[in-house]
Amino acid sequence: MVEVEKEPQIKDLLERLSAYIEHYHGGNVEFLSYNGKVLRVKLGGACLGCPLQPNTLHGWVEGTIKQFFPEIERVESET
């Protein structure tokens, strides 16, 4: 399945993005699942309870992911 083949690339991109978020903001993002259209992640660290969490999720995480994987329709976060 093509989606499964992309999973390692998506995880690598998320690790890089998480390192950036952790370095500059004290938060992190973790891969949970990917079904070909929806990527599920978990935000942690300083992101927990932060009022800007939706901006981080949709602006940074989803925006970056869609640049490299436009077939992903949305990124959801476990709360």
pTM, to two decimals: 0.88
Number of domains in the chain: 1
pLDDT digits (tens, 9 = 90+) for 54-75: 999 999 999 999 999 999 999 9
The list of the chain residues with pLDDT below 70 reads 1-4, 79
CATH number at 18 reads 3.30.300.130
Long-range contacts of 3-12 (CB under 8 A, 24+ apart): 3/34, 3/35, 3/36, 6/34, 6/69, 7/34, 9/68, 9/69, 10/34, 10/39, 10/65, 10/69
Range of the domain at 41: 2-78
